[in-house]
Amino acid sequence: MKHAGSCHCGAIRIELETSRAPQDQVLGACQCSFCRKHNTRAFSDPSAKVVITADNPHAVQLYEFGLKTSKQVICNRCGVYVAMILIDGERVFSVLNIDTLDDRALFTQSVEARVYDSESATERIERRRKRWTPTTLVGWPN
């Protein structure tokens, strides 16, 4: 199944391709202060594919905090938190804010609270390589 979405103003678009129906997806609720303040419902699946397109590369704001092992993708025009990405050499992995998808209401599973406070930077990166979604960045700022 393919799902499309974007930030509020459309400067950053998302395409998700997954074999599972929306109602069968497992969604997470990271308990870090960033995700809690955004009330994020997070999606990741290593067997899915994501494309994040910057229609307006100047609107892409990358933010880091904590262990600085990933970057949060935020639209600096409309303020929407789109995804978190891990750039690992030539590979990119992401976890999506599922509420940026146009058909977000179809993702009806209750979220699972997730706490990662005890992970080291190395453990965190390894978990993300295994569990996050392979991602392609298009039109990305340098």
For residue 116, pLDDT beyond 80: no
Residue 67: its pLDDT value, please?
Answer: 83
The per-residue pLDDT for range 24-34, each reduced to its tens digit, is 888 887 767 77
Instruction: Please tell me what DSSP assigns to residue 101.
Output: B
The per-residue pLDDT for range 77-103, each reduced to its tens digit, is 999 999 999 999 999 999 999 999 999
User: Hey, what are 43's tokens?
Assistant: 């999606």
Q: For the whole model, what pTM was predicted?
A: 0.89
Contacts of 84 (CB under 8 A, 6+ apart): 42, 70, 71, 72, 73, 94, 95
C-alpha 56/C-alpha 2 separation (Å) is 23
The per-residue pLDDT for range 57-82, each reduced to its tens digit, is 999 999 988 888 899 999 999 999 99
The average confidence (pLDDT) of the chain is 90
C-alpha 132/C-alpha 46 separation (Å) is 5
Domains located in the chain, CATH noted: 2-138 (2.170.150.70)
